[in-house]
Amino acid sequence: MSTTTPTSAQATAPASALPVAPAAATHCPYCALQCAMTLTPTALPGPSGSVAPEVSVAGREFPTNRGGLCQKGWTSASVLRAADRLTVPLVRGRSGEMEPTTWDAALDLVASRLARIAAESGPQAVAVFGGGGLTNEKAYTLGKFARTVLRTPFIDYNGRFCMASAAAAANRSLGADRGLPFPLSDLGGADAVLLLGSNVAETMPPSVQHLAGARAAGGLVVVDPRRSATARLADDPSTGSGRGAQGVHLQPVPGTDLAVLLGLAHVVLAEGLADAAYLAERTTGFDDVARSVAAWWPERVEAVTGVPVPELRRVARLLAAASPSRGGRGAYVLTGRGVEQSSQGTATVTAAINLALILGLVGRVGSGYGAVTGQGNGQGGREHGQKSDQLPGYRKIDDPAAREHVAAVWGVDPESLPGPGVPAVALLRSLGTPGGPRALLVHGSNLLVSAPDAAAVRARLEALDLLVVCDVVPSETALIADVVLPVTQWAEEEGTMTSLEGRVIRRRKATDAPGDARSELWVWAELARRLGSPVHLATDPAEVFDELARASAGGVADYGGLSHARLDDDEAGGGPGFHWPVPAADHPGTPRLFLDRFPTPDGRARMIPVDHIGPTDDLRPDAPLWLTTGRVLQHYQSGAQTHRVPELERLVPAPYAELHPLLGARLGVPDGARVRLTTARGTTTATARWTDTVRPDTVFLPFHWSGEGSANLLTTDAVDPVSGMPEFKVCAVAVAPAEEA
């Protein structure tokens, strides 16, 4: 299938005159569930300026989605035909307005200014920010481009806002970070699933079918300060088979999930429900953890979290009864962003892993611990070089052996590779400051909406000498850039993605990009040439993947035995892709990690004691309520894609704030009225929505909007000290009627 960019002659041809491409078997452009779909171009002409015909979407049978799609997936083709799709390069003119230009002019300008900045201030004066939606090929090449062409240590990506805490905890406890170290379908056979901080019923609806077994057994446990759609699956008899409640919903005070986990571990140990044989055989550090959780007796947990003692004991016993050591069919402990986006996110995930180890779940078929990855390629995006401290294959950049291996693949001297950079928030704070980066290249991220403390981020971006954004639509970040480069999106390109299960899958081209949009692979190769770099940057995705496979070979995330051809042959034969590691061309992949040993020096999981401290932004007289943020079913991330889908925009057109009726009445904020929310960072306004699904001391605000309704004008940029993850999910807020402003 062709991967070439449309020529100028094609760009002016009427869409109806173009041949219609065959149907493409590919995957959804949104979350890490990566639902399989088939895209079929039609012969209908596109809007003015577009060479792409309309594309129809159909769900495709696959282990994760089993033919199903959510509202975002069904309407995903609409983004291909967005009315404001970027089709030509734009440069900010002397008038301050963005003006169209040619690719040669735009790239010459970017290359000359990057070269001047590097000559004046050193290569570290240029920084790169990537995205968790980039294909593996793009994520890999972006890391290579930053470190060999720009030679800067300053690269990180928006995955730091997604999986950083779970990754840090899994790496130090289990020796490897793969969101789910087992196939998602394994959940279906379990008696119990403990889900903390993840509203999968709205963020990835097709995954809910895999919880049916636990719900039927009464073993679905959801921990969330809101009675979310997922929580209702656990405690609402009307959503089940009519046989009564489907599980348990624990509704703790925001930011206290760690205390809940410590209390569960305390009960398991105090009541003799631990898997002693497993702990002795497969773990180290148990005694220290046992001593630490002894301080979290149930009554103390209730005082801190608001979770009643009987409910805590009920959940601990339910999980223990489902564990293999006590004759159950299996149990899983799963974490999501709600508990990971915290200044104690790594500690919280560590406590979740400790609980799973105490119960003897990890590394057993039908049981385990996992993290529900959010972004489409959140897994692959962090494995191959976008993180500030990593090289391809999940290698550490400060490891001499790793540097030597990857440098040999890249054809450079290991000594020429920069050392570790800094995590995303620290990088953003440093932009435009004395000694900090003067230029930033942004790929696949909308920082003005998705980063915490958005007003401060805007100030730092505006302080730069050069801001270059590659995007498919004029996102909020693109609108303040000096140069905007139009690039291809999911259905217009070939490549691979890695799902939340570590399953490597193929993304296939279904249609040409409109106008003169080009692949970032081509953009980076052209910039490298203009900057005089001798480093080869391939532009064919299959060739890039072959190089990625060599660079990752022998690493934790080993793709060495994979290629586009092998993935295509597997799918043609009815196969569902391969879970890494895949170290050889005849290796079948590794659907389940940790079955025999953990990838640690002694082969054992490391149990690490942690303690609950609480949010950095605590309640105070001028901010007496908790604010928590999250997603809604119809929108995705910063909304750059979904706000351009009319069907989704009609369903949820504007931001809203959920308030408990008791809180709304006390504050004088009627249902449907405008409400003002204020934190130490800024102020946001939204429409009040009364609901008893939120705690009376808590306000919920979705984060998919910019402008005066931006949730991240309020959030703190305090970070987890281990992972660098921002504390998006909880801060102190004041709430008042908007007319009092």
Taking residues 335-340, report their average pLDDT.
95
Tens-digit pLDDT profile for residues 119-172: 999 999 999 999 999 999 999 999 999 999 999 999 999 999 988 999 999 999
- Nearest CA among 528, 543, 511 for reference residue 19: 511
Q: Which two tokens stand for residue 19?
A: 């041949």
CATH architecture of 625-740: Beta Barrel (2.40)
Taking residues 322-328, report their average pLDDT.
96
Tens-digit pLDDT profile for residues 28-65: 999 999 999 999 988 554 444 444 568 999 999 999 99
Tens-digit pLDDT profile for residues 216-248: 999 999 999 999 999 999 976 554 433 445 799
pLDDT value of position 245: 53
CATH number of this structure's domain 164-371, picked from the four choices 3.40.228.10, 2.160.10.10, 3.10.20.440, 3.40.190.10: 3.40.228.10
Q: For tokens 């577009």, what's the residue? A: 50
Q: What is the DSSP letter of 64?
A: T
> In the CATH hierarchy, which fold is given to the domain comprising 90-161+377-536?
Rossmann fold (3.40.50)
Q: From CA 728, how far away is CA 79, in angstroms rounded?
A: 27
Strands 483-486 and 90-92: antiparallel
- Can you spell out the DSSP letters for 321-371? HHSGGGT-S-EEEEE-HHHHSSTTHHHHHHHHHHHHHHTT-TTSTT-EEEE
CA distances from 211 to 186, 208, 701 (A): 10, 5, 27
Q: Which two tokens stand for residue 447?
A: 């920082």
Helix axes of 309-322 and 298-305: crossing angle, nearest 10 degrees: 120
Q: What are the two backbone dihedrals, phi and then psi, of residue 305, each rounded to the nearest 5 degrees?
A: -105, -20
Tens-digit pLDDT profile for residues 170-194: 999 999 999 999 999 999 999 999 9
Q: From CA 497, how far away is CA 493, in angstroms rounded?
A: 12
Query: How many residues does this entry show for the chain?
Result: 741
Q: From CA 284, how far away is CA 34, in angstroms rounded?
A: 36
Q: At residue 521, does pLDDT exceed 90?
A: yes
CATH class of the 10-81 domain in this structure:
mainly beta
Q: From CA 31, how far away is CA 377, in angstroms rounded?
A: 8
Q: Which two tokens stand for residue 150?
A: 């720009």
Q: Which two tokens stand for residue 410?
A: 């890249």
pLDDT value of position 44: 53
Q: From CA 352, how far away is CA 102, in angstroms rounded?
A: 53
Higher pLDDT, 254 or 575: 254
Q: For tokens 């190769």, what's the residue? A: 525
Q: Taking a C-beta distance cutoff of 8 angstroms, is the pair 497, 483 a contact? A: no
Helix/strand/coil for 232: helix
Alpha helix ranges (H) inside 122-189: 136-144, 164-174
Q: Which two tokens stand for residue 539?
A: 């532009």
Q: Which two tokens stand for residue 416?
A: 């020429």
Confidence at 102, pLDDT banded by 50, 70, 90: very high
Provide the 10 A C-beta neighbour count for residue 543: 14
Tens-digit pLDDT profile for residues 63-98: 999 999 999 999 999 999 999 999 999 999 999 999
Q: Which two tokens stand for residue 62?
A: 């696959």
Longest dimension (CA), the chain: 75
- Nearest CA among 619, 617, 729, 625 for reference residue 667: 625
Q: At residue 547, does pLDDT exceed 90?
A: yes
CA distances from 170 to 69, 317, 350, 728 (A): 30, 25, 7, 21
CATH 3.40.50.740 segments of the chain: 90-161+377-536
- Nearest CA among 12, 39, 18, 17 for reference residue 28: 39
pLDDT value of position 571: 85
Q: At residue 741, does pLDDT exceed 60?
A: no
Q: At residue 646, does pLDDT exceed 70?
A: yes
Q: What are the two backbone dihedrals, phi and then psi, of residue 417, each rounded to the nearest 5 degrees?
A: -75, 135
CATH 3.40.228.10 segments of the chain: 164-371
Q: What are the two backbone dihedrals, phi and then psi, of residue 303, each rounded to the nearest 5 degrees?
A: -65, -35
Taking residues 587-604, report their average pLDDT.
97
- Nearest CA among 610, 608, 615, 640 for reference residue 732: 615
Residue 192 β-bridge partners: 331
pLDDT value of position 575: 82
Q: From CA 689, how far away is CA 654, in angstroms rounded?
A: 12
Tens-digit pLDDT profile for residues 397-439: 999 999 999 999 999 999 999 999 999 999 999 999 999 999 9
Angle of CA points 423, 427, 429, to nearest 5° = 125
Q: From CA 732, how far away is CA 698, in angstroms rounded?
A: 9
Taking residues 272-297, report their average pLDDT.
98
**Around 603, how many Cα atoms within 13 Å sit in the side-chain half-sphere?**
6
Confidence at 596, pLDDT banded by 50, 70, 90: very high
CATH 2.40.40.20 segments of the chain: 625-740
Q: For tokens 């995205």, what's the residue? A: 131
Q: At residue 19, does pLDDT exceed 60?
A: no
Q: From CA 445, how far away is CA 386, in angstroms rounded?
A: 12
pTM of the model: 0.94
Tens-digit pLDDT profile for residues 435-457: 999 999 999 999 999 999 999 99
Taking residues 278-293, report their average pLDDT.
98
Residue 685 β-bridge partners: 676
Q: Dihedral through CA 521, CA 526, CA 529, CA 531, nearest 10?
A: -100
Average pLDDT, the chain: 93
pLDDT value of position 740: 57
Percent of the chain clearing pLDDT 70 (strictly above): 94
Provide the 10 A C-beta neighbour count for residue 500: 26
Q: At residue 10, does pLDDT exceed 50?
A: no
pLDDT value of position 9: 28
Q: Taking a C-beta distance cutoff of 8 angstroms, is the pair 621, 543 a contact? A: no
- Nearest CA among 240, 237, 238 for reference residue 211: 240
Tens-digit pLDDT profile for residues 656-693: 999 999 999 999 999 999 999 999 999 999 999 999 99
The alpha carbon dihedral of 458, 372, 138, 124 has a sign of positive
What's the Rg (C-alpha) of the chain? 25
**Around 273, how many Cα atoms within 13 Å sit in the side-chain half-sphere?**
24
Higher pLDDT, 244 or 393: 393
Confidence at 5, pLDDT banded by 50, 70, 90: very low
Tens-digit pLDDT profile for residues 499-511: 999 999 999 999 9
**AA letter at 131:** G
Q: For tokens 């390109």, what's the residue? A: 493
